[in-house]
């Protein structure tokens, strides 16, 4: 389909763009996650650590819900993270029946290190673009943020 045909069929154009964006975002997300995974920390474990950094503290059930995994799977992930000294599980101060999960200093450093690694990978890719492409990337990032991040409906 040519650019002219796309302008004449905006619904088809939007459908094709949505499919392409989904593919690019999915692959990009996988690539970024692979730059934080290591022999010590898996991508799913890193995701839990990053969630805890944003949340400050949480319960295993809330983390499982956010990560779209079952509570038993989350229990195993948290057990491995606790064994590695990256999270601490203790009784919730308001409800002793619940468990509260927080990052340790080592967990915080693991998240920070992962972000630096991802940022460096992205920086190297952006460094390979010219000025016009970089401006286009800035514009695209702003559009995506406004329409995907800010509007989560």
Instruction: Give the chain's end-to-end CA distance (angstroms, integer).
Output: 31
3-state helix, strand, coil in the chain (%, to 5): 70, 10, 20
Would the pLDDT of 4 be above 50? no
What does the pLDDT look like over 33-80, one tens digit per residue? 887 767 788 889 999 999 999 999 999 999 999 999 999 999 999 999
Distance CA 52, CA 46 (A): 10
Give the span between the Cα atoms of 103 and 85, in whole angstroms.
9
Q: Both tokens of residue 133?
A: 């492409």
Q: How confident is the model at residue 137 (pLDDT cuts 50, 70, 90)?
A: very high
pLDDT (0 to 100) of residue 86: 97
Structure tokens at 130: 């010219």
How far is C-alpha 6 from the geometric centre of its chain's CA atoms? 32
Provide the residue ranges of all domains of the chain, joining segments of one domain with +.
11-149
Tell me 128's DSSP state.
T
User: What is the distance between the alpha carbons of residues 27 and 16, in angstroms, rounded to a whole number?
Assistant: 17
The fold of 11-149 is Arc Repressor Mutant, subunit A (1.10.10)
> Which pLDDT score, from 0 to 100, does residue 94 have?
81
pLDDT in tens, 82-134: 999 999 999 988 888 889 999 999 999 999 998 998 899 999 999 999 999 99
pTM score = 0.72
């Amino acid at each position: 389909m040519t650019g002219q045909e796309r302008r004449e069929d905006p619904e088809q154009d939007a459908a094709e763009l949505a499919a392409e964006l989904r593919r690019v975002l999915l692959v990009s997300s996988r690539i970024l996650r692979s730059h934080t995974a290591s022999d010590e920390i898996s991508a799913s474990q890193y995701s839990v650590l990053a969630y805890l950094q944003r949340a400050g503290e949480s319960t295993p059930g809330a983390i499982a819900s956010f990560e779209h995994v079952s509570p038993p799977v989350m229990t195993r992930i948290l057990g491995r993270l606790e064994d590695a000294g990256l999270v601490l599980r203790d009784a919730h101060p308001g409800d002793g029946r619940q468990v509260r999960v927080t990052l340790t200093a080592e967990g915080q450093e693991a998240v920070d290190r992962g972000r630096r690694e991802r940022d460096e990978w992205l920086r190297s890719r952006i460094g390979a673009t010219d000025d016009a492409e970089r401006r286009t990337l800035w514009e695209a990032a702003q559009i995506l943020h406004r329409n995907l991040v800010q509007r989560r409906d």
